[in-house]
Amino acid sequence: MNAKLRRQALRRKRKMQQRIDPANASGASPMIKPDAIKYELADKQQAIAAGGIGTLLEMTKQLDLRKEINQAVPLFKLHLPYDEADHVFNISLNLLAGGQCLEHIEDRRCDEAYLNALGADRIPDPTTEGDFCRRFSTQDILRLMTAFNRVRVKVWKQQPYEFFDCAVIEGDGTQVETSAEKKEGIGINYKGQWGYHPLVVTLANTREPLYIINRSGNRPSHENSAFYFDLAAQRCRDAGFRKVVLRGDTDFALTENFDRWDDDGIEFVFGVDAMPNLVQIAENLDESAWKTMRRHRSLKKPSANPRAKRGRFKEKIVVKNEYLNKKLAGERIAEFDYRPGKRDRNYRVIVLHKEVHLKRGQLRLFEKEEPVYFFYITNATKSSKPTRQVVVEANARCNQENNIAQLKQCALKAPLNDLTSNWAYMVIASLAWNLKIWSALMIKPIGTTDQKAEQSATKSKVLHMDFTTFRDRILMIPAQIIRRSRSVIFRLLSYRPSVDTLLLIDSNVRRPLRC
């Protein structure tokens, strides 16, 4: 940020800290006692709640996102008045500006200040956006995802050398429930839930959704996953990643692809069902093959004044009511070579044995205890990935559930009437999450050692921030909109610590891109 903005931000920050400092409190009570409130309507001044959205608009221009979208999906013969990118931006910016669904676009299009902020005379209404999504074919949706991935590569090129050490690609399915009876393509899963069952393939390093594939609700999680794993792996390799790792749960251990992936130099770590033959092998292993599994523990120094731990009230209720209580007593790991059916080579299988004690009340149920085994299969060598590391990395895949949960806050919804149009909406709406990720990745730490460390911490914080937290903390800062002949001024009307983060992102977004 420039020197003037930095001075203003520091001055506002000092003023804010003095105000909330308990040492400066008057001690008067009650504290919330508003004066007489009156409403007035401004004649000329205009403001929007999502003042941070201007930085994202600037980023779309820097990344040439409009051109990529229009070239990928030429759905219109004439642009009267909207082009394809207008519709895509309208849906995603609605979510970033506080909207939750298509209908909330109506609030945006009737907000004069919002239109001025976007530099638009008008924007499409919700019905028009629904019609736009219904124009998509399967090929159009795939081309749109490819366009997003081309832009994604531009952002990746701004990252340091070590960013390209390894790309971890994860896949998982999730249920998008809907109770509507007139949505084409819905199905019912084994849990009795009606809806769609999209497959989400993400880059775990950055939490970006590389591919979203909508399917009927009764389709298995792994359906077509190998095809999209291959596309994602090729995309990452073309971008410059020196190593690619595939991860997934037991549904994605597609043994027919193992030899092909191994020949192609792609590493994989998948969970495997506890099949009877694998359990038998684990039970027949020599006792010397087993090692104690030690989980990672925090290396932070204990606090000088540690806070007292709260009681486990759930545990007390389970014991009191004599519910069946499973307690983990210990974990052991071992490994052996295993050749899946119809494969030409052996792969490492890591087995995790959990010793689980069953209790009911204060009594331990010895006769009901059974060994619990978890299996993982990988083509990584022992020298590159020790036994314990395979288990730790396989368990790290659980963060994919968090990524899907964030996408459900914005993209994984089904507001339209058929499978393909809802698929198009999911992909378009995922741009909102992508813009959030890209805004973090665009931060390039510079300055002194302390400044670089602070900016790197901010980058990591924004990258791992929830979607709603990012929207409410970074974007929802009220700003006055001032239109000039060749520019639009976003004058922030309030200060809070997140303003510093917004200004840091904005200053980095405006830097020339590294080719």
pLDDT in tens, 449-473: 999 999 999 999 999 999 999 999 9
Measured CA to CA, the distance from residue 194 to residue 196 in angstroms comes to: 7
pLDDT of residue 319: 86
pLDDT of residue 45: 86
**Strand 363-364 to strand 347-360: parallel, antiparallel, or no bridges (unpaired)?**
antiparallel
Contacts of 258 (CB under 8 A, 6+ apart): 268, 340, 343, 347, 377, 379
Element spanning 392, H or E: helix 387-396
pLDDT of residue 338: 93
246 class by beta-carbon count within 10 Å (0-12 exposed, 13-18 middle, 19+ buried): buried
E strands, 158-275, in order: 167-173, 176-177, 187-188, 194-196, 199-203, 208-213, 244-248, 267-272
Classify the C-alpha dihedral 128-130-131-133 as positive or negative.
Answer: positive
CB 253 within 8 A of CB 272: yes
pLDDT of residue 73: 96
Place of tokens 């609605």: 94
Say if residue 276 is preceded by a cis peptide, omega within 30 of 0: no
pLDDT of residue 306: 79
pLDDT of residue 308: 83
Q: Which residues of the chain have pLDDT under 70?
A: 1, 297-302, 366-369
Q: How far is CA 283 from the centre of its chain?
A: 39
pLDDT of residue 136: 97
pLDDT of residue 381: 92
pLDDT of residue 369: 67
The residues spanned by each domain of the chain are 3-23+49-137+421-509, 271-293+314-380
The one-letter amino acid code at 6 reads R
Measured CA to CA, the distance from residue 285 to residue 296 in angstroms comes to: 26
Element spanning 391, H or E: helix 387-396
